[in-house]
Amino acid sequence: MGNCGTREEAAVVNAQVVQQLSSLPSSSVKSDKIKQQNHSRSISDLSDPSTPRNFEDARKNAVLYTHVIAFTLFELETITKSFRSDYILGEGGFGTVYKGYIDENVRVGLKSLPVAVKVLNKEGLQGHREWLTEVNFLGQLRHPNLVKLIGYCCEDDHRLLVYEFMFRGSLENHLFRKATVPLSWSRRMLIALGAAKGLAFLHNAERPVIYRDFKTSNILLDSDYTAKLSDFGLAKAGPQGDETHVSTRVMGTYGYAAPEYVMTGHLTARSDVYSFGVVLLELLTGRKSVDKTRPSKEQNLVDWARPKLNDKRKLLQIIDPRLDQYSTRAAQKACSLAYYCLSQNPKARPLMSDVVETLEPLQTCNDPSESSLGGPFAMSRLPDYRMRQRFSNNVGPGAICRSPNPNISPGGPAACRVR
C-alpha cells in the first residue's frame, strides 16, 4: 500500500489520521517485563561532517515546522543515503536511528534542517503500537523541552519517525562516557530544570500524559544544553476524573521504574517523579542507576545513596568527585529534592510543577568560572526558598538536608514542597 494516514505533503496528525493509523496491524508483540539497560549508541552520538554547524539557523528553522509531515519512504532513503551504516546515530529497542538533512531538494517548501530518522526494527519487541504512540503524542504536543517530531512515514510494513536533530546527544553519554569532559554543576542543574519542565508540561496537559520511561538516554541535549525528552513509545494517557491511576503492563527500564508501579502495575504521574529522582541522583553523583561493576552494596544507586541524602556527614561524600566547584547550599537543596522524589510513598513525592519551582532558584548558583558570584560558596543570590510540608505523616525523621559545611548557616532547609 502507499503512504498511510494521509497523502498531503504537510499533513497534520489529527484524530482522523491517528484513527486511520491505529487500524493498521501491528507486526510485533510487546514484552511485559522491564527492559534491562542495553544501550549502544544513542540518538545524536555522532554527527555528520556535512551537517551545518550554524546552530542558531537550525533552531530557527525547526520552529517553522509547526505541522507533522507525512514523508515517503523514498524521501527518507534519500536523506539517509539509503540508510547507510556510517549515518547511524544509535540503536535501541525500537530500531536504528540515522542522521539526515531535509531541505528543498527533498521537497519543495521544506526549510533546511538536520534531522534524526528512527526506523522501526520489524524483528524487534517494540512495534507499531509504540510507533503510533509517538506519532499521537508528539504530533499533538509542543514544548521547548520535548523533542520536536518533524514527520513520519508509514508505507507497507515500514514505520519511520523524523525528529529534530539534537546536536549534543544524550545526557547518558555526557555523564558516563569517560572520554567526555564532565558536565559542570550549573549545566547539570540547567539540564535537570529543562527535563523537569518537560515532565511538568506532560503532567499538566489537558489530558495528562505519563511519560513512563524517564532516563538519561531519553534526555537529549541541544547545542546550548537545553534538555528535551525523546522516545514517547511507552507514554500513557494519565487518569481522569475520579481515577487514581492507570492499570497497565509493567514496562520501562530497570533502575528507573517506581517500586509501586513495578509491584502493582498502577501507573500515576508520581511514577515519573520517582524516575526523575533517579536521574537527579545520577546528575548529583555521576553514577549510573544500576552499575554491576561496583561493589554489591553500591550497585543500585538509590539503595546506596538515598540514606545519605539527609545525613549532614555523608551528603557531600556522594557528590560527583569530578565536580570541583559548586555551592554547598545548592547541593543541599538538590539532594533534599532527590530525597523526596525517591520516597517509597508516592503521595510523599512532590508534583513536577513543585520540582520545577524548587530547581529554578538553583540556576542562579552557578560555578565561579561561569559567573561573578564570587566563589563556590557564595550564597547571596540564592533565595532562602522554604519548604512547605503538606504530608507531615509521610515524611521520615531527618528529611531536611542540613548544611554539611559547619561555616554555613543551617537556616535554609531544602527547597521541596510535598503534596
Please tell me whether 81 is known to bind a ligand: no
Q: Point out which residues pair with 229 in neighbouring strands.
A: 146, 219
- Which among 107, 57, 112 has a CA at the least distance from the CA of 78? 107
Q: Map residue 164 onto helix, strand or coil.
A: strand
Annotated catalytic residues are: 213
Determine the Cα–Cα distance for residues 244 and 354; give it in Å rounded to an integer. 20
Q: Are strands 149-155 and 69-70 parallel, antiparallel or unpaired?
A: parallel
d(CA 74, CA 82): 9
List CB contacts of 311: < 8 A, sequence separation 6 or more. 398
Torsion sign across C-alpha atoms 79, 84, 85, 86:
negative
Bridge partners of 300, per DSSP, are 290
For 140-161, give the DSSP string: H---TTB--EEEEEEETTEEEE
Number of Cβ within a 10 Å radius of residue 209: 22
Cβ count within 10 A of residue 127: 23
d(CA 416, CA 388): 7
Beta bridge partners of residue 237, listed in sequence order: 209
Nine cell digits for residue 206: 489537558
| Phi and psi, residue 229, nearest 5° | -80, 135
Residue 102 and residue 138 in contact, taking contact as beta carbons nearer than 8 Å: no
Cα separation, 102 vs 108, whole angstroms: 10
Which cell numbers hold the place of 268?
Answer: 500515576
C-alpha grid cell for residue 409?
A: 548557616
Binding site members:
118
Binding site members for ATP:
118
